[in-house]
Structure formats: C-alpha cells, structure tokens
Amino acid sequence: MSKHIQTRQQSAKARKVSSEAIEQVFTYWKQTIAPKSKAVLDDKRTIRIGWAIHDYGIESCKQAINGILNSEWHMGVNPQQKKYNDVELIFRNADNVEKFIELSNKRDARAEFLSDPNW
C-alpha cells in the first residue's frame, strides 16, 4: 500500500474519533515520554493518534506509549544517541503500534514474574 493511500485511510478513520480522545492520548504521551517537550498536537499527530484509537482503542494506545519505554534504541541508546519516541512514530502504522504494545506486555510479564514470591 502506498504511503499516500495509507495516510488517506488513516485520516478517514481519525475523523471518526473525538478530539477529546485524541487529546487524551497525546497528553498521556507527552506526560509519559516527553514531559519537558514543547510538542504540539498538529494535524499529522492528530491523524496518527486518531486512526490508532479507531483501530486499537485508547488503552491499547497508552500501552503502545508505555511499550516504547522498553526499547533502549528508541529511548536513545543507539549510535546517534538520539531518541526516536515521537508519538507520530509510535502510531505511524499497525506494525509499529503492535510492536510497542508487545513491548509493553513484555514489561508487564517481567514485573509480574519478579513480584511472584514463589520464584
């Protein structure tokens, strides 16, 4: 699928999601990942967040945001020492959303394992 077609489809889905829901996920990202950032909710971010909420729901979107924290590469442990954790990257496509949700689930499983007194 071309990037242009994907963006049009995402835009159509994003229009079906309330601005309050989109703002809620954006605010969660900003507080969790970039509390000192002056990032604003522009059109591109609105579309990316909106389609993700449409397809995955608010809680799964928050999980994806939590998941990127478990990726050292995306949090700046890479040769460029640059963080790749923008909300637009997290919600760029289904592969990214699902990858970061999975990373979040791995963290949850690890926390559960470490807190189990039987181990």
Statement: the pTM of the whole predicted model exceeds 0.85: no
pLDDT digits (tens, 9 = 90+) for 35-83: 998 999 999 999 999 999 999 999 999 999 999 999 988 999 989 999 9
- Residue 77 belongs to what domain range? 3-115
Task: Identify the pLDDT of residue 107.
Answer: 60
The lowest-confidence range among 27-31, 36-40, 83-87, 107-111 is: 107-111
Which residues, other chains included, contact 11 with Cβ-Cβ below 8 Å and sequence gap of 6+? 47, 51
Share of the chain above pLDDT 90, in %: 75
Average pLDDT over the chain, rounded to an integer: 88
Separation between Cα atoms, residue 80 and residue 76, nearest integer Å: 8
Q: How much is the average pLDDT of 5-30? A: 93
* Number of domains, the chain: 1
